[in-house]
Structure 1
Amino acid sequence: MRQVQVHPPNPQWIRDFDAEAAQIVLALGNNVVHIHHIGSTSIPNIYAKPVIDLLVEVNDIGQVDGCDRAMAALGYTAMGEYGIPKRRYFRKDNAEGIRTHHVHVFGVGSPEVVRHLAFRDFMIAHPDCARQYSELKRALAAQHPNDIEGYMDGKDEFVKTMEQRALHWRGLI
């Protein structure tokens, strides 16, 4: 059972993203087109679980399967598609077993890339929505301190609503 804790905004999250992205480029090689910082740690001024989410766009998703050993050398566990078709998902825990990073790999042009980036950019451009999200996350973490599923379920409707607003804002729907 994973404990749910959200932390105040931390400028170190950006530096952590930059350092990890540099290592992932080495592990995945010239297949990488771009690495994006996504998730709550990428949105300024909001509370977040201190887990860095990296979204990697690659030319050939199939080639990523041959990089599991290189990712394992960085401390990642390969999880395959993990519920999202055409994704390769990796997760990393620290020495204490606390989750520190998620890596989501998709082919260039994937609708999942568009969705994640639209949500992130919308939240950055709309601080009032980001503030609502931050407050929701804090309330849910207090309500579900030992129930990650309850925490995630509690965010689901808000996230889906904001994703739709983000896609409309981007002119994609």
Structure 2
Amino acid sequence: MSLLAAPDPHWPAQAQAEAARWRGAGLSGLVTIHHIGSTAVPGLPARPVLDLLAVFADPETCDAAGPTLHDLGYERLRDRGPSEGRRLRLDDPETGAMLIMARCLPQAAPAIARALAFRDALTRNAPLRAAYTAVRARCAARHPDGGDSYDRCKAHWIDKTETRALEKRT
């Protein structure tokens, strides 16, 4: 099975439905939820896992959401550091396949602007989408199981592109 799937026009609606589920859970301090990552960019091949970025008022409300998110079926993952926020995953109960990767960050976190700038740059720029598709295809071929090795393979390209996208926003 390939790590990257053809674009699915249902991804945005699925992300909206999951964001509505979070809002319906009454999470105190939840400001907004963004659909980010490759599944948020129309026409971009992607790992078929929705990436959500949940913005909370502050770190405390982000932490306090943990039990409610657990009740929604999310499992907390090992933190990668403060800039990554709280990471959670939602798996398909029948297959065990990951469906959603969510990050919870306080609204002052710089990672929010970076993620949105990257998503928006890819959405607006077809040559940039093509370049990213090539980078991810190369990384997927080298690391067909995905995971941290795949993420590290594409990280330098993403970091450079995010930085340029942020500079163009300001």
Regarding TM over 0.5, the answer is yes
Please, which runs of 5 or more residues in structure 2 have no aligned partner?
A: none
CA RMSD in angstroms comes to 1.8
Change (3 A) 1:36 1:154: same
Please, which runs of 5 or more residues in structure 1 have no aligned partner?
A: none
1:48-127 map, 5 Å: 48-79=46-77, 82-85=79-82, 87-95=85-93, 96-127=95-126
1:3-18 map, 5 Å: 5-18=3-16
Count of residues in Structure 1 that have an aligned counterpart in Structure 2: 168
CA distance in 1, matches of 2:26, 2:103: 12
- Contact 2:56 2:107 (C-alpha < 8 Å) held by counterparts: yes
**Under a length normalisation based on structure 2, what TM-score does the superposition of the two structures give?**
0.89
Give the corresponding residue for 2:149: 150
Moved over 4 A (4+): none
CA distance in 1, matches of 2:16, 2:68: 18
SS for the counterpart of 1:90 is: strand
State the identity %.
31
Q: Which has the higher contact order (CA 8 A, sep 6+)?
A: 1
CA distance in 1, matches of 2:133, 2:108: 29
Change (3 A) 1:61 1:4: farther
